[in-house]
Amino acid sequence: MGMSEDLWSPVRLTLELAALTTLVLFIVGTPLAWWLAGTRARWKEAVAAIVALPLVLPPTVIGFYLLVALGPSGPGGWIAGLWGGRTLAFSFTGLLIGSVVYSLPFVVQPLRNAFEAVGERPLEVAATLRASPFEAFRRVALPLARRGFLTAGVLGFAHTIGEFGVVLMIGGNIPGETKVLSTAIYDYVETQRWQEANLLAAGMVLFAFAAILLVGLSDGAARRARA
């Protein structure tokens, strides 16, 4: 394994993980955010608080519980048993599950805000124009909330790329399987390979800047369009 492959493997793995995580988060987070935006259920804020927990908990705490859940005696172990495995911890699938949990609020929050900004009126109008609730969602709520999806996608993707504590707890830093960018940088620093660490770290800074700029520009465009 040459030095470039050594560098590229974590980058590729990280992008793959972030893309898959974002995809899963859209699938899980959209109905959840839609429900949170529209429901009058009394326990909705309790659900919202659970979703928001990763924002305030130390990643090691989340990582610890994920490790238990994914391990041989947790549900993860049972699922792994379906194809003859023993545990989901220290695997790419485990990392994906962990990332989904950890980045959930970064997708659900912007989506919920976007759906709440759409409001009830456009959906009522759609209903009086023969659109079923699903059709109203697809033809009115989704397109009106599209900027929320952009924000949610960028934040979910970027946050997954930046995670470290959870990865360290449940990933195990296996090259090609669970060794992602953030842990690779940690390794390089440990082994005093400053040049490689600097390369990856600088790349992350540029990427984070670009992501935040993209969200900012899109919000600005939205504000100008409304004005």
Partner 1 sequence: MNDGVRAAFRVRRGGFALDVAFKAPARGITALHGPSGSGKTSILRALAGLDRLDGRCTVAGEVWQDDDVFRPPHRRAVGYIFQEPSLFAHLSVRDNLIFGMPRRERRAQGAVFDETVERLGITGLLDRDPRHLSGGERQRVAIGRALLSRPRLMLMDEPLAALDPDAKDRILELIEELPRDFAVPVVYVGHDMREIERIAHHIVLVDKGRILAEGPLGRLQADPTLPLSAARDAAVAVDATVAGHDAAWGLLSLAVGEVRLLVPGEARPLGAAQRLRIAASDVSISLLPPVDSSILNSVRVAVAAAEPAGPAETLLVLDLLDAPGQRLLARISRRSFAELDLRPGRAVHAQIKGVALAG
The residues that touch partner 1, with contacts defined as CB under 8 A, are 121-122, 124-133, 135-136, 139-140, 143-144, 146, 225
From the CB of 216, what's the least distance to partner 1, in Å?
Answer: 22
CB nearer to partner 1: give 12 or 147: 147
Q: Is 116 exposed, middle or buried (0-12, 13-18, 19+ CB in 10 A)?
A: middle
**Closest distance to partner 1 from the beta carbon of 150 (Å):** 14
**Residue with Cβ nearer partner 1 (27 or 125):** 125
Smallest gap from residue 143 Cβ to partner 1 (A): 4
Whole-number minimum distance, CB 127 to partner 1, in Å? 4
Name which of 22, 26, 211 is nearest 114 in CA terms: 26
Burial code of 119-142, b = ≥16 C-beta within 10 A, e = fewer?
A: eeeebeebeeeebeeeebbeebbb
Considering the complex, state which of residue 140 and residue 158 has its C-beta at the smaller distance from partner 1: 140
Pick 17 or 37: Cβ nearer partner 1: 37
Task: Return d(Cα 131, Cα 97) in angstroms, integer.
Answer: 36
Rounded to 5°, angle at Cα 187 from 185 and 191: 120
